A and B are shown apart, each in its own frame.
Chain A
Amino acid sequence: MAAGTKRLIAAALVLVACGAGLVSPAGADLTRSAPRLQSEKARIVSLVPALTEMFYAIGAGPQVVGVGSFDQFPPEVATLPRLGALLDPDTERILTLRPTLVGIYGSQTDLQAQLARAGIRAYVYRHGGIETIYRTMRELGTATAREPQAERLVRDLQARIATIRTRVRDRTKPKVLLVISRQPGTLREIYVSGGVGFLHEMLEIAGGRNVFADVARESAQPSQETILARAPDIVVEVHAEGMFKTSSVQNEKAVWAPLSSLPAVRNNRVHVLLGQHLVVPGPRFAGGAEALARTIHPAAFNR
């Protein structure tokens, strides 16, 4: 018994020693080398489309070695390994790529723990408003030693947003219903943007008044009754490509016809916009805001 215990302790000591021996060079490399050098050699995995777009926008694209299943932009990601997404990250393949920085979503706590155990840095992201987009870009800039590029990107986006605001500033703000999901071909299971989140903020920038601004959530399912009662002047649906076929957009607009008391329906102001830039809170969001502004205030862009 005593001999057994001694042997165990000895074995443990050997293991610890080996472990220390194995770990310390790598650890030393991480801590001692200048962060800048280390970050330039970073191998990046991004499982979140918004983060992937940001990595590319700040010039870290060449260092991206793997992306999530739903990443489509920029087109370069098409050739990269797909490593799962929010619910099904492929931890094993992520580790095989030997990344030094992995962009994950806030709810992926298991993956976060696994990465921590493997000594890999995780950038944990959660959707928020436009300020979150800017903050995330700056933090990714720091993480990849590309602060100047990130700062330039943020300034550029802020300037574009300011331009949109100026264009629509003197226009009266119509009441807008911003639809983000519904069952195709019917008015069932309609989800709209509430008064929180980047979609709501994009709508405000574009010179619209969100009719569900009082709902303190990013998305909400109102009943048809509530939609009728809120009487929006304009209905804008934003969907990623592939939600509706481009050929069916006319039919999808027509499903609103039964709600003829809506000013939006009466005045033929139901719009269906398709495109990932409208729904991904990444560097293309300014383009999304501009598309919304052009839809809500076409006259402001006709000069």
Chain B
Amino acid sequence: MSPPSRLAASARQALAVDALERPARKPIRTRLAVTIAGFGALAVAAIALAPLVGSTHISLSRAFDRSIPFADNVDAQIFFVARLPRVLSGALVGAALAAAGVVFQALLRNPLATPFTLGVSAGASLGAMLVLIFGVSLSVGPFSTVPLASFAGAAVAAGIVYRLATPYRRAMSTAVLLLAGVTLNSFFSALIMFAQYFADFAQAYRASRWLMGDLDVGSYQPIIAAVPLVAIAFAVFAMLPSALNVLSLGPEAAATRGVDVVRAQRLAFFSASLATSAAVSLAGPIGFIGIVVPHLVRLLVGVDHRIVLPASALFGAAFLVACDLGARTLLAPVELPVGVLTAMIGGPFFLWLLVRKG
């Protein structure tokens, strides 16, 4: 098979639902338990091991020694202030983006969909750009200026796309959704460039650095702000998998199978947008996770969303934590933008898996 047709086959496979209709080799509960145990172990291992490694050598016994005052304990500060927040935000962002990617791919019935396809990240970026460039300072509760502005931008973008795609309480048209999202992406990108054009160099550079993504969040506060939003999104995700399986067939087919298409689509859109907005406001638009992790997981476990969705969330968490470990150690003492690494590591690995499976 030539590479293009192989890609096409994989794309079909991503959406293929006939696979679901074949009798499962094992009951779904067993497969789910095995998958979650496997990917869960991977995620737990990544989250537990990553804080132990870094650009500096620290003594763990000193880090956990309560008898030394925290203010004097460099090892404890490196562990609890520098490393742990990074690992936790990496896990949160990785899980949110990977799961949102799965949901968007099913909702849009398009294997190329990412959490950023519908303009959510462009809206978030515009919000962040504006406060970075115009030096606005605002904060509400645990949200500081940039996360707040990017979350607001994401909400505005999602709101616009939603309004455009749901005119009369009918099912969303995936074509309209896609077109609206792509157009909004371009429009917001133009506004971002417009704003950057009027910024001075330092501001423009800071703004473009934000676009590369960064998990060095510096404290637990932004994580605490993002956790409830991601939790709500995941609570909705938990209700979605069966509906997503049927939605992948198309709205008409789904309706004939007794799925409330309008409700399922709206829940999917809302939850995936919420997860994406929270992730982007925490760490900037870290690319590639939302598209490659779902496909990687599908290549490994098949296309049933009841398994793909939790497996992707767990694998996304492990993958981003691992990439960030590379980002903070490879060029130490200097840092590498994590968004650069996700694609540099994930791309070749994904292609290798694609060719092998094809």
Contact across chains for A189 and B206 when beta carbons are under 8 A apart: yes
Say whether B209 faces chain A, with CB atoms less than 8 Å apart. Answer: yes
- Stretch binding the partner chain, chosen from A116-124, A199-207, A253-261, A292-300: A253-261
How many residues of A are in contact with the other chain, CB < 8 A?
A: 38
Say whether A226 faces chain B, with CB atoms less than 8 Å apart. Answer: yes
Say whether B135 faces chain A, with CB atoms less than 8 Å apart. Answer: yes
- Greatest chain A CB density within 10 A among B86, B202, B205, B209 is at B202
B81: nearest residue on chain A (CB-CB)? Answer: A258
Minimum CB–CB distance from A265 to chain B (whole Å) comes to: 9
Say whether B358 faces chain A, with CB atoms less than 8 Å apart. Answer: no
Interface residues of A in 174-215 (CB under 8 A from B): 181, 183-189, 212, 214-215
Contact across chains for B333 and A212 when beta carbons are under 8 A apart: yes
Contact across chains for A186 and B200 when beta carbons are under 8 A apart: no
- Stretch binding the partner chain, chosen from B18-26, B160-168, B211-219, B343-351: B211-219
**Known: A86-B201, A189-B210, A223-B55. Is A229-B335 also a contact (CB below 8 A)?**
no
Say whether A222 faces chain B, with CB atoms less than 8 Å apart. Answer: yes
User: How far apart are the CA atoms of A186 and B218 in the complex, in Å?
Assistant: 8
Interface residues of B in 207-230 (CB under 8 A from A): 209-210, 214, 216-219
Contact across chains for A229 and B55 when beta carbons are under 8 A apart: yes
Interface residues of B in 328-344 (CB under 8 A from A): 328, 332-335
Contact across chains for B56 and A225 when beta carbons are under 8 A apart: yes
Question: Please, which residues of chain B bring their CB within 8 A of the CB of A231?
Answer: 74
Contact across chains for B216 and A224 when beta carbons are under 8 A apart: yes
**Known: A223-B55, A225-B55. Is A260-B71 also a contact (CB below 8 A)?**
yes
**Known: A226-B56, A240-B202. Is A189-B214 also a contact (CB below 8 A)?**
yes
Say whether B145 faces chain A, with CB atoms less than 8 Å apart. Answer: yes
Contact across chains for A222 and B137 when beta carbons are under 8 A apart: no
Say whether B77 faces chain A, with CB atoms less than 8 Å apart. Answer: yes
- Greatest chain B CB density within 10 A among A188, A215, A259, A260 is at A188
User: How far apart are the CA atoms of A223 and B137 in the complex, in Å?
Assistant: 24
- Greatest chain A CB density within 10 A among B205, B219, B333, B334 is at B333
A227: nearest residue on chain B (CB-CB)? Answer: B82
User: How far apart are the CA atoms of A170 and B70 in the complex, in Å?
Assistant: 34
Interface residues of B in 174-222 (CB under 8 A from A): 197, 200-203, 205-206, 209-210, 214, 216-219
Contact across chains for A229 and B201 when beta carbons are under 8 A apart: no
B206: nearest residue on chain A (CB-CB)? Answer: A181
Minimum CB–CB distance from B134 to chain A (whole Å) comes to: 11
Question: Please, which residues of chain A bring their CB within 8 A of the CB of B86?
Answer: 223
Say whether B144 faces chain A, with CB atoms less than 8 Å apart. Answer: yes
Say whether B132 faces chain A, with CB atoms less than 8 Å apart. Answer: yes
Say whether A159 faces chain B, with CB atoms less than 8 Å apart. Answer: no
Interface residues of A in 217-267 (CB under 8 A from B): 217, 220-226, 228-231, 239-240, 242-245, 248, 258-261, 266
Q: Main SS of the interface on chain B?
A: helix
Q: Quick one: which of A70, A220, A229, A243 contacts B334, CB cutoff 8 A?
A: A220
B212: nearest residue on chain A (CB-CB)? Answer: A189
Contact across chains for B135 and A184 when beta carbons are under 8 A apart: yes
Contact across chains for A185 and B144 when beta carbons are under 8 A apart: yes
Question: Please, which residues of chain B bring their CB within 8 A of the CB of A260?
Answer: 70-71, 77
Say whether B171 faces chain A, with CB atoms less than 8 Å apart. Answer: no
User: How far apart are the CA atoms of A181 and B332 in the complex, in Å?
Assistant: 19
B145: nearest residue on chain A (CB-CB)? Answer: A185
Question: Please, which residues of chain B bring their CB within 8 A of the CB of A224?
Answer: 81-82, 216, 218
Say whether A40 faces chain B, with CB atoms less than 8 Å apart. Answer: no
Contact across chains for A222 and B333 when beta carbons are under 8 A apart: yes
Say whether A90 faces chain B, with CB atoms less than 8 Å apart. Answer: no
Contact across chains for A228 and B74 when beta carbons are under 8 A apart: yes
Contact across chains for B218 and A215 when beta carbons are under 8 A apart: no
Contact across chains for B334 and A261 when beta carbons are under 8 A apart: no
**Known: A225-B328, A261-B71. Is A181-B202 also a contact (CB below 8 A)?**
yes
Question: Please, which residues of chain A bring their CB within 8 A of the CB of B77?
Answer: 228, 259-261
Contact across chains for A185 and B137 when beta carbons are under 8 A apart: yes
- Greatest chain B CB density within 10 A among A88, A228, A260, A266 is at A228
- Greatest chain B CB density within 10 A among A181, A217, A222, A226 is at A226
Interface residues of B in 231-251 (CB under 8 A from A): none
User: How far apart are the CA atoms of A223 and B214 in the complex, in Å?
Assistant: 10
Minimum CB–CB distance from B213 to chain A (whole Å) comes to: 11
Say whether B302 faces chain A, with CB atoms less than 8 Å apart. Answer: no
B217: nearest residue on chain A (CB-CB)? Answer: A188
Interface residues of A in 71-116 (CB under 8 A from B): 86, 88
A244: nearest residue on chain B (CB-CB)? Answer: B135
Question: Please, which residues of chain A bring their CB within 8 A of the CB of B200?
Answer: 70, 240, 242
**Known: A188-B218, A223-B328, A266-B71. Is A183-B146 also a contact (CB below 8 A)?**
yes
Minimum CB–CB distance from B259 to chain A (whole Å) comes to: 43
B137: nearest residue on chain A (CB-CB)? Answer: A185
Minimum CB–CB distance from B314 to chain A (whole Å) comes to: 26
Say whether B156 faces chain A, with CB atoms less than 8 Å apart. Answer: no
Interface residues of A in 37-60 (CB under 8 A from B): none
Contact across chains for B82 and A225 when beta carbons are under 8 A apart: yes
- Supplied contacts A186-B218, A226-B333, A245-B135, 14 more A-B pairs, CB within 8 Å: A88-B197, A183-B132, A184-B145, A187-B219, A215-B334, A225-B56, A225-B328, A226-B56, A228-B78, A240-B202, A244-B135, A248-B137, A261-B72, A261-B73
Q: List 27 A-B contacts (CB under 8 A).
A: A183-B206, A185-B145, A186-B218, A187-B218, A188-B214, A188-B216, A189-B210, A214-B333, A220-B333, A221-B209, A222-B334, A223-B55, A223-B86, A223-B328, A223-B333, A225-B56, A226-B55, A228-B81, A229-B55, A229-B56, A229-B78, A240-B202, A243-B135, A248-B137, A259-B77, A260-B70, A261-B77
User: Which are the 9 A-B pairs with shortest beta-carbon distances?
Assistant: A225-B82, A229-B56, A260-B71, A187-B218, A224-B82, A226-B333, A261-B77, A220-B334, A221-B335
